Amino acid sequence: MTDLDTELEAAAFRRLVEHLRTRTDVQNIDLMIGSGFCRNCLADWYREAAEARGVDLDKDAARERIYGEPFAQWKAKHQPEATAEQLAAFAAAQAQAHSRREA
C-alpha cells in the first residue's frame, strides 16, 4: 500500500463520515438492515484501529468522532425508537446474514 492509497482511503472515509452526519433521516437500524453496518459499527472499527496502534480511545470518544457530537445528543435529536417493521426487517436481515455465514 502506498501513501497515496492511504490518502485516498482517508479522503473516502472522511466523505463517508460527513455523508452519514448529514443524513440524519437515515436511521442506524435502516443502515444495519440494508448494509449490515451502521454509524456505531463504524465508530467501533475506528476505535479498534486506534487500539491496534496503541492509541487509547474509548467508545464514547470514537462515537463522537463519527457522529460529530456526543452520541447521546445525536440520538436525542435524530433517532426515534425503532418501529415494529424495522425490528422485524432487522431480525430477518440478521437471520439471512447468519445463514450465509453458515453456508
Q: Residue 69 carries which DSSP code?
A: S
Which tens digits make up the pLDDT trace of 49-90?
A: 999 999 999 999 999 999 999 999 999 999 999 999 999 999
In angstroms, the CA 70 to CA 96 distance is 32
Question: Looking at the predicted structure, is the pLDDT value of residue 44 above 80?
Answer: yes
The set of residues, in sequence order, having a beta carbon less than 8 Å from that of 60 and lying 6+ positions away, is: 70, 71
Taking alpha carbons only, the member of 81, 79, 64, 65 closest to residue 25 is 79
The set of residues, in sequence order, having a beta carbon less than 8 Å from that of 27 and lying 6+ positions away, is: 79, 80, 82, 86
What is the reported pTM? 0.89
Domains of the chain in start order, with CATH, are 3-102 (1.10.3340.10)
